[in-house]
Amino acid sequence: MQRIDRELNASLDVARAMRITLEWALRQSAAQAGLIGVLEEGGVRVMAQEGYEDMLLDAENPLLPLDQPAMRAAVESGQPQRVTLEGSRRGILPEARQQAIVPIRREANVIGLICLESTSPDSQPSESVNFLSRLSDHAAIAIANAQLYSAVQAANAAKSEFVSLVAHELKNPMTSIKGYTELLAAGAVGQVSEMQASFLNTIRSNVERMATLVSDLNDNSKIEAGRLRLEFKAVDLGGVLDEVTRSSKRQIEEKKQVVAVKLPHKLPKVWADRTRLAQVLSTWSAMPTSTPLKRANSRSARSVRRTNGIPRARRRWCMSG
């Protein structure tokens, strides 16, 4: 059973776990046909089968009804059922003479069924049924874990989709607010007083901050969903750092702070995604303005140096006054 456990727990895929369980059940019972499925309301959803060809295909009803007496007994009692098919009793396989139904139980609940059918009435001894019972117990744990993992994955996908939708819907009104704020600040509808200009700058700063938060939220959902694409190429680190410093100039000046950038000559290029690198450096560059102390007249130094041929960046800042 240890080998079976290793195979069952090799991945958290429900279909794979059930397929492996059916393969071992057929191998040990020497049955000519078999199926395994998940118990649902209205029948059994077949996850894997062998030997039935197209007998189980039904476009109108994808579930296998519990019209076999042994199936109903296994679901109701939670115990394996072995019956000889003779007289009016018929199996799924027309020529079947022996049928074994093994419930897959998780705690006190039956979550699935294994159905095995043989053309010989003596092909499934009691030892085989005992093995199938142990197999179903081990399979139940692997199947339950795989189902839980699938549910978590589905919940994460739904959350990521919701976050992406919210981020997209928030960008439209923020773009409009920012545009009209800039028009008002430029005097498009009349002269703007110094106090009004200060209020408009506050609105614009908050909109930009909100846009950054929304963008980070959207990126985080892409990372969790595995959909964030990185485009690597040779990037001039000094150029990106200068660009980030210029974009943060207004926020830095509002805090009456100074940023000094120190770059060595002939700094080699780095292999990175330029957009994401600028995003990281933007957060790094904004740290003095977001420090808990928030002291004015502070000075921040950005420097890049080479260590063992690899460019390394560091930040120092101090306060005066």
CA distances from 143 to 16, 102, 134 (A): 9, 15, 14
pLDDT tens, position by position, 256-295: 777 777 777 777 888 988 888 887 887 765 554 444 434 5
What is the rounded CA–CA span in Å between residue 152 and residue 120? 44
DSSP letter at 263? -
Average pLDDT over residues 52-72: 78
Q: Is the pTM of this model over 0.95?
A: no
Other C-beta atoms closer than 10 Å to the C-beta of 38 total: 17
CA distances from 69 to 82, 83, 85 (A): 11, 10, 11
At 99, give phi and psi (nearest 5°). -135, 135
What is the rounded CA–CA span in Å between residue 102 and residue 134? 10
What is the rounded CA–CA span in Å between residue 24 and residue 40? 24
At 98, give phi and psi (nearest 5°). -140, 135
pLDDT of residue 114: 92
pLDDT of residue 85: 85
pLDDT of residue 116: 92
pLDDT of residue 125: 60
pLDDT tens, position by position, 106-145: 888 899 999 999 988 766 566 788 888 899 999 899 888 8
Beta bridge pairs of residue 127: none
